[in-house]
Amino acid sequence: MRLPLVITLGAMAALAWLASSHADPQPTVDYPQGFTRWTHVTTGLIGPGNPAYAHFGGFHDVYANAKAIEGYGAARFADGAVLVFDVHEAKTVQDAASPGARRLVDVMVKDRVRFGSTGGWGFAEFPAGAREPQGLQPANACYSCHATREKQDHVFTRLSD
Ligand code: HEC
């Protein structure tokens, strides 16, 4: 009678170990609800001649929450800062361009503990309409490019006066 109990306990321990090692894979980034009402930082337009066109082509608007706005001044962002890169296709009618349908929403969330391996920022991509991150690029692809702006805490844009 003793042996099966030992085996059962062993199996349970193995299962618990498996569960714990798989329970917390990548820390996640939440969809930034209501971000279009945050502070608008800048707008850009990426056209067909740009190498980034396939993925990021069209108009993009950058939005910052209140903590991120404080961070721009110091070029250091506190935990809780969130930045959003909101991409819409560009419609052109009679040489007048305007934003069309949303293509994707890219997000950076500052949390030094959860995202320590990527400069303290969590990166995620939400294709239009998605509320779960499902970007084509893994987070480290985002980070490798943003790391070129390490001196500005991995942020490219600046807040204009
Ligand atoms: C090849 C380089 C490159 C890659 C890869 C890249 N970005 Fe960016 N990102 C930029 C540039 C350049 C800007 C600034 C655009 C501007 O000035 O209008 C930017 C801006 C941003 C911003 C606004 C804050 C800032 O840095 O100015 C966010 C948020 C963002 N990107 C998130 C992401 C996420 C999430 C990914 C991965 C899914 C990603 N980026 C991949 C180059 C990149």
Q: Is 142 in the pocket of ligand 1 (CB under 6 A)?
A: yes
Atom of ligand 1 nearest to the CA of 141: 5
Nearest residue (CA) to ligand 1, atom 2: 145
> How far is ligand 1, taken at its centre, from the CA of residue 85, in Å?
7
- Rounded Cα distance between 45 and 100, Å, is 12
- Identify which of 108, 134, 137, 151 to mutate to test ligand 1's pocket (most ligand atoms within 8 A of the CB): 108
Degrees, nearest 5: CA angle 48-159-156: 50
Q: What is the pLDDT of residues 3-26, one digit of tens each?
A: 555 545 445 444 444 444 444 456
Q: What is the pLDDT of residues 22-75, one digit of tens each?
A: 444 567 899 999 999 999 999 999 999 999 999 999 999 999 999 999 999 999
**Closest C-alpha among 17, 14, 68 to residue 41:** 68
Spatial contact of 147 and 123, defined as CB atoms under 8 Å apart: no
